[in-house]
Amino acid sequence: MKHIVSFSGGKDSTAMLLMLLEKGWQVDEIRAFDSGWEFPQMYDHWRQVEEYTGMPITIVRPKKSFTHWLLHQRVISRTGENKGEVHRIGYSWPSPMRRWCTRLKMDALNRGVSPESVSYVGITLDEADRTLKNIADKKRMIKKYPLIEWGITEADALEYCYAQGFTWGGLYKHFRRVSCYCCPLQRIGALRKLRKYYPEQWAQMLEWDSQIQNNRGFRGYDTVADLEAYFAYEDAQTEFCFAEVEA
């Protein structure tokens, strides 16, 4: 029976991996999904983990890039008069009701994995309810949640990783969670920080946003361009207030 660490590279999965090895649990493979939309600091972190553990990370990717699905995938109508015909190009941004990114991720992670394998999943004690609605395909592998078993919280996991020398280039100083930098499901405050501290990633999002042929919105009905205008207005208001105080 193969024991696989489901590794995102975030604080929880990193702490879980290091603790599994520290406690001598069986770890046969570390498997990570590369969306192509990760922060550069996360790729650096993956390399650091490989050096620290002496184990290679198996990187899996979708058969077509996320950017292809976002901008270029032909979407076929399933019903109506135009059934079987292309009715739009590109899936547009994911949303709670259109999580095409999650489906592609799980397909890639499950590819070639035996159903009898054990998957270690990095869910902490304070998010134990996520095990009840884990979006992973539960029929594919046996799921185990060591952090819950050990009573490890999110704060514990981050503190533990920091103590081992992992910093993610400061990502956790700005964000509570670190996933795809352009995830539309993140909170507005995180997007505000993304624009402020990671302008290259924000500029890439604006570029993609302008290329989407049928833009169904990034967050709710707002596009990234809408959010840019909103944040720019906030900045202007802040500058005006400071100018008034100095005057």
Residue type, 196: K
Residue type, 162: Y
Dist CA 75 CA 234 (whole Å): 37
Residue type, 158: L
pLDDT at residue 243, as a whole number: 54
Dist CA 218 CA 98 (whole Å): 11
Which of 38, 18, 37, 36 shows the shortest CA–CA distance to 27?
Answer: 18
pTM of the model: 0.89
Residue type, 184: P
Which of 44, 76, 68, 72 shows the shortest CA–CA distance to 57?
Answer: 44
- For 141, the token pair is 């592998």
pLDDT at residue 136, as a whole number: 46
Which of 160, 166, 157, 154 shows the shortest CA–CA distance to 44?
Answer: 166
Query: In Å, how far are 1, 37, 168 from 33, measured between CA atoms?
Result: 22, 11, 17
pLDDT at residue 150, as a whole number: 97
According to DSSP, the residues that pair with 6 across neighbouring strands are 31, 121
pLDDT at residue 81, as a whole number: 81
Per residue in 235-245, is it b (16+ CB within 10 Å) or e — as a string?
eeeeeeeeeee
**Helix, strand, or coil (residue 5):** strand
Dist CA 123 CA 149 (whole Å): 10
pLDDT tens for the chain, residues 1 to 247: 899 999 999 999 999 999 999 999 999 999 999 999 999 999 999 999 999 999 999 999 999 999 999 999 998 888 878 788 888 899 999 988 889 999 999 999 988 888 889 999 999 999 888 776 654 455 567 899 999 999 999 999 999 999 999 999 999 999 999 999 999 999 999 999 999 999 999 999 999 999 998 888 898 778 999 999 999 999 888 765 655 555 5
Alpha helices in the chain (DSSP H): 11-22, 40-53, 66-71, 100-110, 146-150, 154-163, 171-174, 188-197, 199-211, 224-246
Residue type, 133: K
Query: In Å, how far are 10, 21, 109, 118, 209 from 121, measured between CA atoms?
Result: 12, 14, 12, 10, 33
pLDDT at residue 219, as a whole number: 82
Domains and CATH numbers, the chain: 3-181 (3.40.50.620)
For tokens 């996991």, what's the residue?
157
Dist CA 181 CA 199 (whole Å): 11
For the beta carbon of residue 179, count every other beta carbon within 10 angstroms.
18
Helix %, strand %, coil % of the chain (to 5): 50, 15, 40
